[in-house]
Amino acid sequence: MSAPLRKVIHCDCDCFYASVEMRDDPSLRGKPLAVGGRPDQRGVVATCNYEARKFGIRSAMAMSQALQRCPDLIVMPPAMEKYRAASKQILAIYRDYTDLVEPLSLDEAYLDVTDSPHFRNSATLIAQEIRQRIFDTVGITASAGIAPNKFIAKIASDWNKPNGQFVVRPHEVDEFVAALPVDKLFGVGKVTAMKLKKLGAFTCGDLRAWTVLDLQRHFGKFGGSLYNLSRGVDRRQVSPSRERKSVSVEETYVTDLQDLDACRRELAPLIDLLRQRVQRAQAERHIHKLFVKMRFADFRRTTAECVSTIIDEAACYRLLDTAYPRGNRPVRLLGVGVRLEEDEDFHQLGLFGEETTDAPGAGG
């Protein structure tokens, strides 16, 4: 049975800690820079910029060794609160496009945009806008990989670094994966890679000559994973780490809505879709607030909300009339949703739960 086709984006900020430091101190740009522990205390490199990488410096290297390779290396201690603040901004951007966001670290996450309505469900365009917004709002660059699953998306995000993206379409998966070295496979470390190479498997194409039973005989249960991954099959889901507290629908428009009247004309179909999604999530009895949100052409966003236990169309239009004057300019995104009461008996929602905030977004 083949895995269902999905649209997964893997976003990875470029040399994250170092990029934040260069953002805050432009005089560091163009100079080799590493963020990490002190060399006299057995410190290691947490990350380094691309100027430092030219000297062979990499993450997890001893800082003392890094300084031997580059005596002019600038070493800075980590400023975790600053990095967490930047990460929070970035996650907020991701969640504007899909509810299915799985953070892997402060600077890296998977997004499942299979059912995202943005840009007519173009994962490529979604990734492009996300990367642009990260640059505009956080002041650093990010790279992205787009593919039918997590395994391939993560590899693809490294293909055009820094500040690039790479797409592997479903019909390209077989050829793309066949040429990959075996140490690119998820879960394959140095020891397993060495064992595979001793057995004559240097690429995923080589590995395909093995039956699943042969692989299991050599690698146990992991042999099944090797069999699937070497064929580009990865059934892992993108798993959000947060509980969903609302249901909403939204649309990003290719051409901005120019005024309030244009927004009012677009609201009715969104309300209809919201009703369908709330019903599908069996969330009707948990509604306690209604909201309308919009993002203006300058990326500022706002949300107007009111107490309501039903999806009241007239109330939605009143909220729209309240929200629009806050920006009073063309609108690129319009959404409507409901907030849900916390209820011990209410199970976590499905795909379309979403949290929103009333404050201007990071793009403001």
**For this structure, is 243 an active site residue?**
no
Q: Considering only CA atoms, which of 326, 309, 306 is closest in space to residue 317?
A: 306
343 is in an annotated binding site: no
Q: Residue holding tokens 């060495």?
A: 194
Spatial CB neighbours of 297, under 8 Å, sequence gap ≥ 6 = 256, 329, 330, 331, 332
> CB count, 10 Å around CB of 211?
11
Pairing of strands 165-167, 246-257: unpaired
Q: Which residues pair with 203 in a beta bridge?
A: 181
107 is in an annotated binding site: yes
Q: Hey, is 357 helix, strand or coil?
A: coil
Spatial CB neighbours of 265, under 8 Å, sequence gap ≥ 6 = none
The span from the CA of 274 to the CA of 209, in Å, is 49
Q: Which of 51, 102, 108, 250 is catalytic?
A: 108
Confirm if 57 and 32 have CB atoms less than 8 A apart. yes
Spatial CB neighbours of 218, under 8 Å, sequence gap ≥ 6 = 195, 199
If residue 338 lies in a helix (H) or strand (E), which one and from where to where? strand 331-340
Q: Considering only CA atoms, which of 301, 306, 307 is closest in space to residue 326?
A: 301
Active site residues: 108
The annotated binding site for Mg(2+) is made up of 12, 107
